[in-house]
Structure 1
Amino acid sequence: MIISSDIHPQKKVYYIGALIIQELKQLGTTEFDFFNLYAALKEKENISMNLFSLSLDWLFLLGAIDKKKNKLIVCF
């Protein structure tokens, strides 16, 4: 189950996914590098690489992002 009664929602993929989308909108770019986006998000929120990667996987499954050569692209 994605949504639960957990007292730490900031450690869930849907929350981190929302932060990723917000960061991408602020950057105003359609292509981004995995590590650059992680570094930008890490400055604002203390997240692990695993949680960041899982959140990107979740966004990929939703169709919000896609892969193009060595870059990730925004689909919204």
Structure 2
Amino acid sequence: MHLLDVKSLRIQRGTIMLLPNDIKPELSVYYYASLILKIITEKKENEILTLYQIVKQKFDISLRMFSYCLDWLYLIEAVKVDEKGIVSICT
């Protein structure tokens, strides 16, 4: 399967949309990942737990969605996570 063929991630209990078919962008990994990326850009370096607390407070995001977003940002080489759990922008 090619990346372009992927429209959603299958999980145990349902589907998390990468590219939503409806008009609710707040349900997509792309949308939340962009919000997380903005916060990481503003703060430069963030511990994963601290970053989640900030995102949860601002956007009421679930831990599951947060982890999907971090995975996505890591896979597209937008962020990196060091061995201490510090998330930062890739240069």
What TM-score results when the alignment is normalised by the length of structure 1?
0.84
Superposition misfits of 4+ residues, deviation over 4 angstroms? none
Question: When you count helix as a share of all residues, which structure comes out higher?
Answer: 1
Q: 1:25 to 1:58 in 2, by over 3 A?
A: same
Alpha-carbon distance, 1:7 to partner: 3.2
CA distance in structure 2 between the aligned counterparts of 1:4 and 1:12, rounded to whole angstroms: 6
**DSSP-derived class of the 2:61 partner:** coil
1:47 aligns with 2:61: yes
Offset of 1:3 from its aligned partner? 1.8
Tell me which protein shows more strand as a share of its residues: 2
Alignment-derived partner of residue 19 in structure 2: 3
User: 2:41 corresponds to which residue?
Assistant: 25
TM-score by length of 2: 0.72
The aligned counterpart of 2:4 is none
Structure 1 vs Structure 2 CA RMSD: 1.4
Q: In structure 2, list runs of 5 or more residues that go unmatched.
A: 1-6, 8-17
Q: After TM superposition, give the deviation of residue 22 of structure 1 in Å.
A: 1.0
**Which protein is bigger by CA-based radius of gyration?**
2
Segments of 5+ residues of structure 1 without an aligned counterpart are none
Distance in 2 between the 1:21 and 1:52 partners?
Answer: 11
